[in-house]
Structure 1
Amino acid sequence: MTPGSNLPLNTVRVTVDVAAPVRLDVSALLLSADGKVRSDADFIFFNQPTGPGVSYRSGGGAAPDSVTVDTGALPPGIERIVVTASPDAAGQTFRGIEPTATVRDAVGGTVIATFTPPQLGTETALVVVEVYQRGGAWKVRAVGQGYANGLAGIATDFGVSVEEEPAPAAAAAPPAPPAPPAQPASYPASPWLGGATQPPPAAPPAPPAPVPAAAPPAGGKINLDKGRVSLQKNQTVSLVKGGRPLLTQVKMGLGWEPAFRGGNIDLDASVIAYGPQRNHIDSCYFGKLSILGGAIKHSGDNLTGEGAGDDEVIVVDLGRLPADATGLVFTVNSFSGQKFTDVAKAYCRLIDASSGEELVRFDLTSAEPQTGVMMAKLIRQFSGEWEMTAMGEFVKSRTVRGMVKPAAQAL
C-alpha cells in the first residue's frame, strides 16, 4: 500500500503487526465520528491491553507488537481505530528505521496488505494505519502520518488529555534517583508520557539551544502558513494553508542551465501518475501533453535550456484529479544522453496558478553522471490534502518510460 490508499476488509477480525529494526511502542485508539476518543478506555496499549473490540499483544522484543480489531464487537458510534507506533528508546526518531505494518486475517492469518511509510525523518511517532467504516463497510487505510513531538502529539490530536511531567529542577549536584512515581489510575506507565516507569534523568548543566521552528531539519513536515518554503532533499511540505488543503490549480516549473562552457541541454520534464497500489496510471510528457481528462497538462518541449525562468511547466489541477490518482512523481530526463554533471542550476518549484505565487522550491545541489532524475513527488494523504517531497534521486534512464518502475518504488 501507499500513503492514503485503502482496501476493503472481507473479514470481521483483523490483526495489524507493526515491525521495525528497533523495538516499538504500539498503541491503538478508538475514535468516534468527531475523530476523538470518548474516554481513557478507548486508549489501548501495553498497560491497558484490552478494550471494547480491540486488543493489544506485545511481541516481547522478539516479535512485532500487534493490535487486533474485532469490527463486530466495536461499540456503537466507533468509526475508526488508528494504530500508532513510536520507538521505545527515548528521543529516537524514525529516520532509517521505517516500520512495516502487516494487516492480516486474525483467524486464518492470511495477509491482506503491507505498508511501509516512506522516507521518514524527524518523526518520533506515527499513525501507521487505520481501520475505518465507510458506507456500512469496514476498510483499512495506509496513513503514515508523522509527529515530531512524540506520542503525546498524537494523543492531543485525538482528544487524550496528557499531563506533561514537570522538568527536573537544576541543582549543584545531582540528587539520588527518586523512586518511580505512582501512576494515575487511567494512565499506568503510559507511553504517551514517555515511559513513566523510568526515573527522570538528572538535569543537565545547561539546556541545549532550541531549534528554530522556521528551519526544521530535513525530513520534517511543514505547511504553507509562513509563505514560500525552500525544501532540502527528502524534506516534505504539506500543501495546507490556513488550515485548508490546497486543492486548486498549481504549476510545477522545472528549470536548468548548461554547465559552464557547456552546449545546449535538451532535457525533458515529465510527470508520472500512480494509483493506490503504486500502479502506473499514465505519464504526461512532451509527446503526451494532457492526461487524466485534462487535470494534468504539459507546456511542451524546451530544446536548449537557455534563458531565465522555467524551461518546462506542468500544470496540475489538484481538485480535478481522479480519486484513484494518489501519487505524482516529477522527473527530468536527457534523451540525448548528456549527464546531469553537464547541467547547472536544476530546480523545481510549485506555483499557485491563479496568483503566480511561488509556494515551494527545491534546488538540486548535487549531480551524478546519470541521464534521469526524480525531482519531486506529490502524495495525496488519507485526510485529502497533498504533500510535496523533494527527491533529487538520479536514475539511469533517458526517457520517462524508464522512470516508471524506479519512481513507483520511490513512492
Structure 2
Amino acid sequence: MTPGSNLPLSAVRVAVDVTAPVRLDVSGLLLAADGKVRSDDDFVFYNQPAGPGVTHSAAAGGGDTITVDTAAVPDGIEKIVVTASLDTPGATFAGTEPTGTVRNADDGSVLASFTPPQLGTETALVVVEIYRRAGAWKVRAVGQGYANGLAGIATDFGVSVEEPAAAPQAPAAPGAAPQAPPAPPAPAPAAPAGQWGPPTGAPAPVAPPAPAAPAAAPGKINLDKGRVSLQKNQTVSLVKGGRPLLTSVRMGLGWEPAFRSKSIDLDASVIAYGPDRKKVDNCFFGKLMILGGAIQHSGDNLTGEGAGDDEAITVHLGGLPPEVTGLVFVVNSFSGQKFSDVAKAYCRLLDAQSGEELVRFDLTHSEPRTGVMMAKLIRQFSGEWEMTALGEYVDARTVRGMVKPAGQAL
C-alpha cells in the first residue's frame, strides 16, 4: 500500500503486525466520529492489552500486534488507528523502516502491507487505520508522523495524559496544550490508575532532545493569542480556543520592486497535493477556480505596485475534498526577473469573512532565482490544518515547474 490508499477488508477479524529492526511500542486507539477516544479505556497498549473488540499482543515474528474483531467493535466507534512509537529514549525513525502487515486473524493470510516512506525526526507515527465506510470495514495506509512520541499521539486523540514532575534531562512544558503534530518533545505519559507506564522493570521513556532547526519554535504555536508572525521553518496550528479553523481563509501575497528596479510581474499560485505528494490540481492566474470552487484565485497583478496584497487565493478549508492533504503557495517570475529584484515579499493568512490577519511571514532575504515556495498548509490526521513558513527559492518560471519541488517540501 502507499500513503492514503485503502482496501476493503475481506476478514471479520484482522491482525495488524507492526515490525521494525528496532523495538517498537505498538498501540491501538478506538475513535468515535469526532476523532477522539470516548475514554482512556479506548486506548489499547502493552499495559492495557484489551479494549472493546481490540486487543494487543506480541507478534510471533517480533514486534507487536493489534487485533481487531470488527463484529465486536461498538457501534459508536468509527475507526481504530494503529500507532507505533520508538522504545529507545531519544531515538527517531530516521533510517528505520517500520512495516505494518494486515492479516486475516483466523488463517494468517496477508491482506495488505505498508511501509511509511521518508521518515526522519518522527518518534511516533500512525501506521494504518481500520475504519467503517458505508457499513463495511476498510484499511487505510496513513504514515502520519509525530515528533513527541506516544504522549503526542495519546493527547491528540483525547487520552488523558498526566505529565510527571520535571526532570533535568526532560523538563515538562508548563501550560502546554495537547494539539496536533508536529510538536516539540514532550515528557512521556505518567501512569494514571496503574494502567499507564512501561512494562515492569523497563526504563521510563525519556523525551528526545529538540532537533536543531534554523528557526525552531520553542513551543507549539496556535491562534489563541492573536496574530502570529512566523519566521522561516516555523509552524502554526490553525486552532483557536481548542477548535480547528475550518472556515474560509485567504492567503494574500505581496511584493514590491526593489529600489530602482522596474515593475515586476510575479504570479502567485497554489498547488494541491494528496497524501502521496502527487499533485491533485493547481490554481493560478490561468485557472482561477479549482476543486469545485473550494480554492479561488483573485487574478493576475502585472506590476507589483500599490499597497496591499498583490494577489490573493481564497481557500474554503471545510470544502476541500478529503484527498487534498497539502497546499503549497508559490510565487514565480514568468518574465525571468529574479527575486533579487523584489523587495518586501510576504504572505499572510486572513479570515476570509472578517478580514482579520491570522498569520504573517515576511521574506527576509532574496536570491537571484525565479521561483519561491512561500508557505504550506498541511491537513493533520486529526483534521486540523497547520501552516509552515518556507521561503525556499528554486529556478522555475511557472507553477508547472514548482510541482516537483513543492511536493518534496511537504
- TM-score past 0.5 threshold: yes
Q: Distance in 2 between matches of 1:330 and 1:157?
A: 27
Q: Distance in 2 between matches of 1:200 and 1:54?
A: 23
Q: Which moved more, 1:280-289 or 1:338-347?
A: 338-347
Residue in structure 1 matched with residue 203 of structure 2 by the alignment? 198
Task: Decide whether aligned partners of structure 1 residues 99 and 263 sit closer, same or farther in structure 2, where only a CA change above 3 A counts.
Answer: farther
Answer whether contact 1:101 1:129 (CA < 8 A) is retained.
no
TM-score where L is the length of structure 1 = 0.73
Structure 1 residue 80: Cα displacement = 3.1
Name the aligned partner's letter for residue 10 of structure 1.
L
Residue in structure 2 matched with residue 174 of structure 1 by the alignment? none
Q: Distance in 2 between matches of 1:72 and 1:238?
A: 34
Q: Mark the runs of 5 or more structure 1 residues left unpaired by the alignment.
A: 170-182, 202-210
Task: Decide whether aligned partners of structure 1 residues 325 and 197 sit closer, same or farther in structure 2, where only a CA change above 3 A counts.
Answer: closer
Task: Decide whether aligned partners of structure 1 residues 311 and 370 sit closer, same or farther in structure 2, where only a CA change above 3 A counts.
Answer: same
Q: Which has the larger radius of gyration?
A: 1
> Could you give the per-residue CA deviations for residues 137-190 of structure 1, whole angstroms, max 9, x where no partner exists?
223262736464x53454455565556545679xxxxxxxxxxxxx99954852
Task: Decide whether aligned partners of structure 1 residues 156 and 270 sit closer, same or farther in structure 2, where only a CA change above 3 A counts.
Answer: closer
Q: Distance in 2 between matches of 1:382 and 1:254?
A: 28
Residue in structure 2 matched with residue 207 of structure 1 by the alignment? none
Task: Decide whether aligned partners of structure 1 residues 270 and 66 sit closer, same or farther in structure 2, where only a CA change above 3 A counts.
Answer: farther
* 2:351 is the alignment partner of 1:352: yes
Q: Secondary structure at the match of 1:222?
A: coil
Q: Distance in 1 between matches of 2:23 and 2:307?
A: 51
Structure 1 residue 289: Cα displacement = 1.8
* 2:141 is the alignment partner of 1:136: no
> Could you give the per-residue CA deviations for residues 44-100 of structure 1, whole angstroms, max 9, x where no partner exists?
23x66677543344799xx8x45443444754455432333444444x385x83976
Name the aligned partner's letter for residue 280 of structure 2.
I
Residue in structure 2 matched with residue 320 of structure 1 by the alignment? 319
> Equivalent of 1:104, from 101, 105, 108?
101
Q: Distance in 2 between matches of 1:163 and 1:297?
A: 44
Matched ranges for 1:213-232 at <5 A: 217-218=216-217, 221-232=220-231
Answer whether contact 1:102 1:111 (CA < 8 A) is retained.
no
Task: Decide whether aligned partners of structure 1 residues 133 and 347 sit closer, same or farther in structure 2, where only a CA change above 3 A counts.
Answer: same
> Could you give the per-residue CA deviations for residues 178-222 of structure 1, whole angstroms, max 9, x where no partner exists?
xxxxx999548528xxx9733899xxxxxxxxx9xxxx9349643
Residue in structure 2 matched with residue 381 of structure 1 by the alignment? 380
Q: Mark the runs of 5 or more structure 2 residues left unpaired by the alignment.
A: 169-190
Answer whether contact 2:216 2:233 (CA < 8 A) is retained.
no
Matched ranges for 1:169-188 at <5 A: 186-187=194-195
Residue in structure 1 matched with residue 402 of structure 2 by the alignment? 403
Task: Decide whether aligned partners of structure 1 residues 313 and 50 sit closer, same or farther in structure 2, where only a CA change above 3 A counts.
Answer: same
* 2:67 is the alignment partner of 1:69: yes
Name the aligned partner's letter for residue 69 of structure 1.
T
- RMSD (Å) for aligned C-alpha atoms: 4.1
Residue in structure 2 matched with residue 390 of structure 1 by the alignment? 389
Task: Decide whether aligned partners of structure 1 residues 157 and 340 sit closer, same or farther in structure 2, where only a CA change above 3 A counts.
Answer: closer
Q: Distance in 1 between matches of 2:235 and 2:123?
A: 16
Answer whether contact 2:43 2:159 (CA < 8 A) is retained.
no
Task: Decide whether aligned partners of structure 1 residues 28 and 267 sit closer, same or farther in structure 2, where only a CA change above 3 A counts.
Answer: same
Residue in structure 2 matched with residue 29 of structure 1 by the alignment? 29
Q: Distance in 2 between matches of 1:200 and 1:248?
A: 39
Percent identity over the alignment is 62
Q: Which moved more, 1:29-38 or 1:374-383?
A: 29-38
Q: Distance in 2 between matches of 1:254 and 1:397?
A: 18
